[in-house]
Every structure is written in structure tokens, then in C-alpha cells.
């Protein structure tokens, strides 16, 4: 069984390899553009804020650009919700990277793989493994790109990020120039878990309702996560500013692990049972 699962997984990796390589490049370009825009933002802040202190940038600062996020929105007259666009784009790109292949693999060569696997559940588990491996690979590419960029900008190889440079709006709002440090290594597990659970959820929905509705559902989930702090809004676990280190009512690691693993397992089991009922080989014409 394990051998058949490994063969199925290998077939998935080979079949989706070309697109994954293209998407690696897209993510590298996105990482570079986002960090460059962040760097320009820092330069502009340095010009307009006289008490701003020049300091060395670290690998952690580079990672913080992408997973900083923002606090939950509280509606007030005269202010409106503004989406953390770099964070939103990062997740939109990662989720698009695993959107196409599973639904496309239900036709052509994918059907032969399904027949050759001999058991639907082996085929389904290999798809789930592929999905998790793919998003982990995308995260690895982003982290590697960040390390290269921080090296190019003569940054320190440290995972400690300084929480003083979020965005322009915060100049007047918060204790902006604090020297508080955040250890970015604490974000690795939450980000990987969020990526895996979102990707598995999207794949399950994609197999049942189609890729368009699956992508719209994932985006809705991201928007809910960005807007508020509801317990099921899993994407909030990938935001540094919502963690219990920075916010009294923030999320903690145990909560993140329990919810993400729960949603991932639910997506695998419910998705598997739902898809297993379909006529995947179009036997009824």
C-alpha cells in the first residue's frame, strides 16, 4: 500500500512539476518586488521621521514583511477596513499554485493514475500529500528568497525581527519606534499549518464544486481572517500582530495547532468521502 501511495505521489509530482517550477519563479519575483517596495518604504520613513534610527536589517525583518498582517478591524465612523495587501497576495499566490492540478488530474493521464492506484483512498491520500508538499515547497522558496534578499541588502542572518516599521498609517498611531524584537522562528509552524489546512480545504472544495468556487471560498476565508478574530478564521494564525506575544487576546500555538490540524483532517476525510461518491471515470457516460 505504501509503495502504491509512493508511486501515485511520484506521478503527481512529475505531472505537476512544470507548473510548480513556473510558480516557484513567480513567487521569487513576488518576494523580490514586495521586499523592494518595503525597502523603499523604509527609506521614505527615514526621510520624513527625524527620530528614526538607521539599523541593520535581518532575515527576520524580511520575513516579517510577508506575515506581519494587521489587527482585527473594529468599525468606527470615518474609518474603513483596509486589507493587508502583501499578506493577501502571498496567500492568494500560494493557493493558486495548488488550485489547478487536482481538478485537472481527473481527466486524461490522471484517470490512468487513478485506475493504476487500485484504490480510491490511495489516490486521494497521494493528492493530499502532493498538496501539502507543494505548499511547503512554496513556503520554502519564499523563505529562501527572503534569505537571499536579506543577504543582498547586507542583512544579518538573524531571525529576530524589529517591530518598528509596519506601514505609514502607524506613524502617528502606535509606539512606532520601539525596539521590541520578535522571534520569527515561532511563525514557521503556524504558517506551515495554515498553508496545509487552507490548501487541503481548497482541494476538497475544488474536487466537489470546481476550482472557481474553491478559489472564491479560499479568498473568502482569507478576507474573514484579515477582517476579524473569529475562532474558525484560520488565516489569522499567519499574522504576527495577532499572536499572543503582541496582543493580549491573540492566538497561541496550541490553539493554532488544534484548529489547523482539525480542519486539515476534516478536509481530508470529508473531501475524500464526498469525492469517492462521484463517477470520476464517467462510467455512466
Partner 1 sequence: MGNLIKNELSRAFGSPGFFVALAVGLVLVVSDAVMTIGTQHSDYLAALEGARLGAADGLESPSLWSCYTCWISVRYDTLYATMFYYLLPLLAVMPFAWSLVSERASGYISQIYVRTNRMSYFKAKVCAVFTSASSVAFLPQLINLLIMAAFFPAVTPDAFDSLYIGIFEDNLWAELFYSFPALYSALYLLLSSCLCGLWSVLVMSLGYITKNRIIVLVAPYLFLISLQLFNERIFQYLGGIRGMQLSLFENLHAYSVQYVQSGILIGIEMALMLAASLCIAWIGKREDEL
- As measured in angstroms, the least distance from the Cβ of 77 to partner 1 is 4
Q: Report the alpha-carbon angle 107-108-109, nearest 5.
A: 115
- Is residue 109 part of the contact set for partner 1 (CB under 8 A)? no
Using the structure block, give the residue that is written with the C-alpha cell 500560494. Answer: 94
Residue closer to partner 1, measured from CB, 81 or 151: 81
Binding mask 53-92 for partner 1 (x = CB under 8 A): ----------------------x-xx-xxxx-xx-xx--x
Contact 26, 139 (CB under 8 A): no
Residue closer to partner 1, measured from CB, 41 or 156: 41
- As measured in angstroms, the least distance from the Cβ of 245 to partner 1 is 26
Residue closer to partner 1, measured from CB, 88 or 153: 88
Of 22-41, binders to partner 1 (CB under 8 A) are 34, 37, 40-41
Of 152-171, binders to partner 1 (CB under 8 A) are 168
With CA atoms as reference, report the closest residue to 31 among 138, 132, 130.
138
- As measured in angstroms, the least distance from the Cβ of 49 to partner 1 is 13
Give the integer Cα–Cα distance in Å for 218 and 139.
17
Give the integer Cα–Cα distance in Å for 165 and 159.
16
Which distant-in-sequence residues (6+ apart) come within 8 Å of 221 by Cβ? 198, 201, 233, 234, 235
Residues comprising the chain, all counted: 285
Of 193-232, binders to partner 1 (CB under 8 A) are 211-213, 215-216, 219-220, 223-224, 227-228
- As measured in angstroms, the least distance from the Cβ of 252 to partner 1 is 24
Q: Using the 8-state DSSP alphabet, how is residue 237 labeled?
A: G
- As measured in angstroms, the least distance from the Cβ of 50 to partner 1 is 16
Contact 223, 83 (CB under 8 A): yes
- Is residue 173 part of the contact set for partner 1 (CB under 8 A)? no
Residue closer to partner 1, measured from CB, 84 or 250: 84
Distance, C-alpha 37 to centroid of its chain: 20
With CA atoms as reference, report the closest residue to 30 among 99, 97, 89, 83.
89
Residue closer to partner 1, measured from CB, 90 or 241: 90
Amino acid at each position: 500500500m505504501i509503495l502504491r501511495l509512493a508511486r501515485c505521489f511520484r506521478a503527481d509530482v512529475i505531472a505537476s512539476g512544470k507548473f510548480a517550477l513556473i510558480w516557484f519563479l513567480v513567487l521569487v519575483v513576488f518576494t523580490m518586488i514586495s521586499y523592494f517596495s518595503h525597502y523603499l518604504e523604509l527609506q521614505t520613513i527615514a526621510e520624513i521621521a527625524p527620530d528614526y534610527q538607521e539599523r541593520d536589517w535581518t532575515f527576520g525583518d524580511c520575513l516579517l514583511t510577508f506575515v506581519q498582517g494587521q489587527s482585527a478591524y473594529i468599525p468606527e465612523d470615518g474609518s474603513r477596513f483596509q486589507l493587508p495587501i502583501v499578506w493577501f497576495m502571498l496567500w492568494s499566490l500560494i493557493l493558486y499554485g495548488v488550485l489547478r492540478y487536482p481538478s485537472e488530474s481527473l481527466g486524461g493521464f490522471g484517470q490512468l493514475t487513478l485506475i493504476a492506484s487500485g484504490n480510491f483512498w490511495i489516490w486521494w491520500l497521494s493528492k493530499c500529500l502532493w498538496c501539502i508538499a507543494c505548499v511547503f515547497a512554496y513556503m520554502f522558496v519564499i523563505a529562501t528568497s527572503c534569505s537571499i534578499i536579506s543577504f543582498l541588502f547586507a542583512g544579518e542572518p538573524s531571525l529576530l525581527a524589529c517591530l518598528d516599521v509596519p506601514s505609514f498609517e502607524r506613524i502617528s498611531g502606535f509606539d512606532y519606534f520601539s525596539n521590541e524584537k520578535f522571534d520569527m522562528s515561532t511563525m514557521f509552524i503556524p504558517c506551515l499549518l495554515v498553508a496545509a489546512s487552507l490548501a487541503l480545504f481548497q482541494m476538497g472544495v475544488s474536487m466537489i464544486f470546481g476550482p472557481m468556487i474553491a478559489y472564491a471560498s479560499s479568498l473568502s476565508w482569507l478576507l474573514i481572517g484579515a477582517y476579524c478574530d473569529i475562532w474558525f478564521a484560520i488565516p489569522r494564525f499567519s499574522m504576527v500582530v495577532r499572536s499572543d506575544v503582541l496582543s493580549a487576546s491573540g492566538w497561541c500555538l496550541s490553539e493554532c495547532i488544534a484548529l489547523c490540524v482539525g480542519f486539515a483532517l476534516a478536509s481530508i476525510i470529508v473531501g475524500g468521502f464526498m469525492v469517492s461518491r462521484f463517477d470520476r471515470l464517467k462510467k455512466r457516460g
